[in-house]
Amino acid sequence: MMSNDFIYVYVNVSRVTTTATPTVLIGQDELTARIAALAQEIRSDLPSGQLHFICVLKGAFLFLGDLIRATEGPVSIDFMACSSYGAATSSSGEVRLTKDLDASIEGRDVIIVEDIVDTGLTLHYLQEILQARGPRTLRTACLLSKPSRRKIDVKVDYIGFTIEDKFVVGYGLDYAEQYRNVPYIGIL
């Protein structure tokens, strides 16, 4: 194969065009109701004071948006990103921080906001590095959890939905950067 052929193939794979419509696993109304309940639970565990939500990009961005709008009282937000997946559907087991927080979390009441806990490797890594920065409290909210896939025992304080070992997309979650705009959680 000539080098030009290789580039052609790569571009085609990296710009997947979505044709398949994901099958609904968790619908919009169910998401809204469950996220409102999570927000109440999070606030009742810290009735007064500022909650500092840390969104793990990119998958959790819609969850963060809905979660903070359902949360009463003072909140602040920050963003971080790490990569463990590339375009594959199974974890490489390697986690790398690709975007750090803007502000210090020392002395703050921090909630990590994640889209999904699969093997648990990403979350475990994030919890370790954030705990080392001296927050007053550190808790984790995950929209989805696949407990059957865990490789490491990781504590998740708030879980939206526990699901089976199926690859899901939508509501911020992607397959090769596609499907994030699907307004429900679906299976390909």
Q: Which of 66, 71, 122, 171 binds ligand IMP (CB under 6 A)?
A: 122
Q: Are 56 and 112 in contact (CB under 8 A)?
A: yes
User: Is 168 an interacting residue with respect to ligand IMP (CB under 6 A)?
Assistant: yes
User: Is 8 an interacting residue with respect to ligand IMP (CB under 6 A)?
Assistant: no
Please tell me which residue in 5, 118, 157, 165 is annotated as part of the active site: 118
Q: Which residues is 120 bridged to in the sheet?
A: none
Binders of Mg ion among residues 54 to 83 (CB under 5 A) are: 59
| Torsion 64-102-179-144 (CA) sign | negative
User: Is 121 an interacting residue with respect to ligand IMP (CB under 6 A)?
Assistant: yes
User: Is 173 an interacting residue with respect to ligand IMP (CB under 6 A)?
Assistant: yes
User: Is 114 an interacting residue with respect to ligand IMP (CB under 6 A)?
Assistant: yes
Residue 152 CA to residue 145 CA, distance in Å, equals 13
Residue 12 CA to residue 111 CA, distance in Å, equals 38
Residue 170 CA to residue 175 CA, distance in Å, equals 9
Q: Is 5 a catalytic residue?
A: no
Q: Are 57 and 80 in contact (CB under 8 A)?
A: yes
Number of residues counted as binding Mg ion (CB under 5 A): 2
Under the rule (CB under 6 A), what is the footprint of ligand IMP?
A: 59, 84-85, 91, 114-123, 167-169, 173
- Residues serving a catalytic function are 118
